[in-house]
Structure 1
Amino acid sequence: MDRRPSQAVFRTGPAMSPDQLLRQMFDRAVEAADPMRSLAQYLPEKPKGRVLVIGAGKASARMAEAVEAAWGPCEGLVITRYGYGRPTQGIEIVEAAHPVPDEAGLQATKRLLALLSGLGPDDFVLALISGGASALLSAPAGEITLAEEQQVNQMLLASGAPIGQMNILRKHISRVKGGQLAAAAYPAKMLALLISDVPGDDPALIGSGPTVGDRSTPEDARAIVKRWHLDVPGSVQRALSGKTGVLQPDDPRLARVSNVIVAAPSQSLEAAARIGRDAGYAVDLLGDDLEGEAREVATEQAALAKNASGPRILMSGGELTVTRRGDGIGGPNAEFSLALALALNGAPGIHAIACDTDGVDGAAEVAGALVGPDTLSRANADGVDPAAALARNDAHSFFAAIDRQVVTGPTLTNVNDFRAILIEG
């Protein structure tokens, strides 16, 4: 298992192996999205009067740490994933579950909303939002219970639905998503700083857009339930049949909100690409916003790699999905890696890495995996069947068995998938 920390010392040169180069490119992508590097330039001078810092997401505690490094101690509350907390001076950090919400997230969200209650027009709210906020901000609408919200999240994660579809449904069964968090702070002025983990960097999709309006409707949400064959509870059906709390983009309660993206996948990919170019490789960017089934995208990229001339690196980002067909332990980056290895079938001179920049691929505490010409031969020597592992969505177990996982621990940021395929010259 590769357990080197993400904050690596970067080096390039002819002595570097393909695995080392790929791992350094990933490390640089993570480093470029570190809020301690990217956030301060977007902060105004600390306003006079009451300032309240709130937030949610896998990067939100690190964002809070960066805010206090610039502004000093602040009042506020931020909700992050278990293990992603950071030392802060005044802002309270609460850890809760992701990707399925839990009681800690539910109670923390209630407290966060209580903090926003009764603010006036002279107050200022700084909202720190990153990927993961959808699960960490838990405030079910109507009669929906926490257990039912958990059930819906589990269905969505197993469905293969793209993130945009997931978030539309999540918004319309929530009291905090789709601009409703900003509405709770009105008439205070709000600046929302966002780290994007979604294809296209649409602020309305980041964390299900708690500070951003959305033109989707309950009818759209019902169509998603039907399209992805989700057997949702009756309380969810009733919530989707009534009036939504999601705000339209022109709602006057959003007039005092500014949404600013402080880190995005494109910036991380370009930072990593410079490492590859410095090492003498041509770099082709296939897109920072790819979506689709992980195994299908892997097959397409394997064909590109086999037909490419080296030295070259094919890079991509975005958010791939997995439709659960089995009961294995997997995530989109590990599944991409396994499907890629099968499609390459030991092709000489081709190596790859696929990792989630937050250090968590799916629900596993594993960032992703490395692939090389020897991946299938390693599996054969260890008695591991790659095709069977792919069939049961068990990619993490596969790469653990052949010692090719990438394990970073919490990276404290999240700009989603990072993929690089290296073709030697």
Structure 2
Amino acid sequence: MSWNNASARATLRRIFNAAVASADPAKVLAAHLPERPSGRCVVIGAGKASAAMAAALDMAWQDVDLSGIVVTRYGHAVPAGRIEIIEAAHPVPDAMSVEAAKRILESVQGLGPDDLVIALISGGGSSLLVSPAGGMTLADKQAVNAALLASGATIAEMNTVRKQLSTIKGGRLAQAAYPAKVVTLVISDVPGDDPSEIASGPTVPTQTTLEDAREIVARYKLDLPLAAQEVLAQKQNLLPSPPMNVDVRLIASPSMALAAAAEIARQEGLHSVILGDALQGEAREVGTVFAGITQSVKIKGLPVSAPAVILSGGETSVSLPKGCPGRGGRNSEFLLSLALGLNGLDSVWAIAGDTDGIDGVEDAAGAIIGPDTLLRLKQAGIAPRLALANHDSYTAFKAIGDLVVTGPTLTNVNDIRAILIG
């Protein structure tokens, strides 16, 4: 097939859309449900996909007497029948995050061994489900989240700190439900699909410790509120160990999304190579590395011959200096760096986006680039290298109409990147 700008961009959108669709709770959740309980069934949950997961569960179990409450991000709620939906703030929590945690903890009190708790957990739950530890206030938790988000720490490192500063994360919610059985249905948005890291694992035992959290705070030189420092200074690790009765089931993941993307690429006549579903690092540095890989494919046919698509998943990070005025996200920053590295290389296009529809805190999932991206940016009065230095990639791509806007997708399997080489 001969690729032009329009056909390449349309193909990349189909590839990205297929990855997102593979994690649709309405399509994947029912197959992972446990046996019906003999006692009560209480549904709880947190994350950007939790409302859609609750709707799928309510539809699948019309014959089961159930009730429940889940929390999702503002704008991500959908009707879920008998399951109440609360909306709260992300990525920095608000008062509704605290209210949701309080009510969800209350909902699992007093259960017995014949009762069943189904926990619907997806990415974003860390800020949506907040129960401050020790003498911490909501303002303290907000300051901690803001510091973590700007630090460049990985999602696993951020969640290690969050668990130690919470009375609901790190398995504490499952401990509160004991002796009831807790079946956790997980949509993974973390590299490696460790369920204890997704939404900071409220229903999953963790192996991380106070010392781990202290080391992360020291390494990234995090300026935390005094109350948070006091919690981390305690001598005893307070994260729970058994008793808890837990069963964790992964229903959607980045690797599944990449497989769906590769199938669409095959149908389009493209060779595909999946470089991994857990790639991390500074977005601009990953963009530079991928520019080199792309040139190897384009010029030498290594590691796969063109026409081809290079696929990858995971979650890069962006370290922001204090007072940074730029607007961006990790996917748009990756793409701006990639475009600079490719320097207008012929017949190469790329898309990168967050499968939840929100790249960082902006209203776009990501963006798309082609051989003419740098030229069009300059024609629009945008200096690409200056925009990258100022972490202002969102503004740059908005100026030339190359943002990818999906709206809330009601799922979340991390970032998907695809580079099409004609």
Q: Same fold (TM over 0.5)?
A: yes
CA distance in 1, matches of 2:7, 2:400: 19
Residue 322 (1) aligns with residue 318 (2)? yes
**Is residue 199–residue 290 contact of structure 1 (8 Å, CA) maintained in 2?**
yes
Q: What's the offset of the Cα at 1:164?
A: 1.0
- Look up the match of 1:288: 277
- One-letter amino acid of the structure 2 residue matched with residue 150 of structure 1: Q
Match of residue 346, structure 2, among 309, 332, 348: 348
CA distance in 1, matches of 2:198, 2:391: 26
Q: Secondary structure at the match of 2:167?
A: coil
Match of residue 50, structure 1, among 37, 40, 46: 40
Match of residue 402, structure 2, among 396, 404, 407: 404
**Is residue 180–residue 245 contact of structure 1 (8 Å, CA) maintained in 2?**
no
- 1:67-216 matches, within 5 Å, as 67-72=57-62, 74-216=66-208
Q: What is the alpha-carbon root mean square deviation over aligned residues? A: 1.4
- Look up the match of 1:32: 22
**Is residue 299–residue 339 contact of structure 1 (8 Å, CA) maintained in 2?**
yes
CA distance in 2, matches of 1:129, 1:13: 43
Q: Secondary structure at the match of 2:363?
A: coil
Q: Secondary structure at the match of 2:60?
A: helix
Q: Secondary structure at the match of 1:80?
A: strand
Structure 1, residues 295-335: CA drift from partner, whole Å, max 9, x if none?
11110001110121310111100011001133211111111
Structure 1, residues 148-169: CA drift from partner, whole Å, max 9, x if none?
1001101111100111111100
- One-letter amino acid of the structure 2 residue matched with residue 69 of structure 1: M
CA distance in 1, matches of 2:237, 2:331: 35
**Is residue 345–residue 376 contact of structure 1 (8 Å, CA) maintained in 2?**
yes
Q: Which moved more, 1:87-96 or 1:326-335?
A: 326-335
- Look up the match of 1:298: 287
CA distance in 1, matches of 2:411, 2:317: 20
Count, aligned residues: 409
CA distance in 1, matches of 2:45, 2:349: 38
CA distance in 2, matches of 1:14, 1:351: 10
Match of residue 253, structure 2, among 264, 268, 271: 264
- One-letter amino acid of the structure 2 residue matched with residue 245 of structure 1: L
**Is residue 337–residue 370 contact of structure 1 (8 Å, CA) maintained in 2?**
yes
CA distance in 1, matches of 2:215, 2:186: 28
**Is residue 334–residue 354 contact of structure 1 (8 Å, CA) maintained in 2?**
yes
**Is residue 76–residue 91 contact of structure 1 (8 Å, CA) maintained in 2?**
yes
Structure 1, residues 208-260: CA drift from partner, whole Å, max 9, x if none?
1111111221111111111001011111111012234312xxx3222x11011
Q: Percent identity?
A: 53
**Is residue 13–residue 279 contact of structure 1 (8 Å, CA) maintained in 2?**
no
Q: What's the offset of the Cα at 1:385?
A: 1.1
**Is residue 74–residue 89 contact of structure 1 (8 Å, CA) maintained in 2?**
no
Q: What's the offset of the Cα at 1:205?
A: 0.8
Q: What's the offset of the Cα at 1:48?
A: 2.5
TM value normalised by structure 2? 0.95
Q: What's the offset of the Cα at 1:14?
A: 7.6
- One-letter amino acid of the structure 2 residue matched with residue 33 of structure 1: A
- One-letter amino acid of the structure 2 residue matched with residue 338 of structure 1: L
CA distance in 1, matches of 2:221, 2:242: 36
CA distance in 2, matches of 1:263, 1:295: 28
Q: What's the offset of the Cα at 1:13?
A: 10
Residue 414 (1) aligns with residue 412 (2)? yes
Q: Which runs of 5+ in 1 are unaligned?
A: 1-11
- One-letter amino acid of the structure 2 residue matched with residue 117 of structure 1: Q
CA distance in 2, matches of 1:364, 1:94: 22
Moved over 6 A (4+): 12-16
CA distance in 1, matches of 2:197, 2:242: 20
CA distance in 1, matches of 2:3, 2:191: 34
- Look up the match of 2:334: 336
TM value normalised by structure 1? 0.94
- Look up the match of 1:245: 238
Q: Secondary structure at the match of 1:337?
A: helix
- Look up the match of 2:372: 374
CA distance in 2, matches of 1:234, 1:283: 50
**Is residue 52–residue 80 contact of structure 2 (8 Å, CA) maintained in 1?**
no
Q: Secondary structure at the match of 2:281?
A: strand
1:339–1:13 distance in 2 versus 1, CA, 3 Å: closer
Q: Which runs of 5+ in 2 are unaligned?
A: none
**Is residue 161–residue 216 contact of structure 2 (8 Å, CA) maintained in 1?**
yes
Q: Secondary structure at the match of 2:386?
A: helix
Q: What's the offset of the Cα at 1:44?
A: 2.3
